[in-house]
Amino acid sequence: MVDKESQICEDYKNGLGAKKIGIKYGYSEQPIYRILRENNIEMRDSRQGARKYHCNQNYFENIDTSEKAYWLGFIAADGTIVYRSEKSGLEELRIVLAARDTNHLYEFRKAMSSNCPIKLETRTTNFGTFEIVRISIYSKKLCDDLNLLGIGARKTFKIKIPNIRQNLIKFFILGYWDGDGGVSIGRNKRLSFYCSGIFDLLIEIQTFL
């Protein structure tokens, strides 16, 4: 890449739109898009516009740390992948938690090197009104990597322990347990650890432990 092309690609990856990049370098939009395609830069959906929010889109490309394995497990329990449409390529990782767990979302956002907003919302159901916190990260690359690890759209009945290093599986399980597990104290004051999920996954976890 020549220097100007490199700068154009970097500006786009940092969230600047093609129109503004064209104004900056004296081009129309079409040459900007051509440069981006020739350099294999992932295009944003037009509805996303200039990317105001960022994250480490390569975070789950290689699960090589205990932190990544933990968050992979947590997403397996409490995350949702939303595919808007194949045409748009707009894909979203969404995590919704009870408001009391807000700090956990901030820890996740920090791990992702993201500035995506964490929103506080009020929801009303047949069981009453309660507060939740939500984070949404829009990234086709991020969602594709999660899908390769077995965590995709409609994952509920498909999820298994992913194919990661053996020494990292315990951290995946810890993340999953933090999302869908808990601790209770019986009448005899003995601690009980429990985890909910689909039967096949729970059998895998039990076998590993």
Q: Residue 86 above 60 pLDDT?
A: no
> Do 190 and 102 fall into the same domain?
yes
Convert the pLDDT of each residue in 43-75 to its tens digit: 765 545 445 678 898 999 999 999 999 999 999
How many structural domains compose the chain?
Answer: 2
What does 122-141 look like in DSSP terms, one character per residue?
EEEETTEEEEEEEEEEE-HH
For 81, residues 6+ apart whose C-beta sits below 8 A from its C-beta are 91, 92, 93, 94, 143, 146, 147, 151, 152, 153, 155
Indicate the average pLDDT of the chain: 82
Convert the pLDDT of each residue in 112-147 to its tens digit: 999 889 999 888 888 889 899 999 998 888 998 999
Q: Whole-angstrom Cα distance, residue 182 to residue 206? A: 15
pTM: 0.69
CATH number of residue 117's parent domain: 3.10.28
Domain of 200?
66-208
Considering the domain boundaries, does residue 194 fall inside one?
yes
Considering the domain boundaries, does residue 58 fall inside one?
no
> Do 30 and 80 fall into the same domain?
no
> Do 27 and 109 fall into the same domain?
no
Considering the domain boundaries, does residue 51 fall inside one?
no
Residue 105: predicted pLDDT: 94
> Do 114 and 200 fall into the same domain?
yes
> Do 87 and 29 fall into the same domain?
no
Considering the domain boundaries, does residue 110 fall inside one?
yes
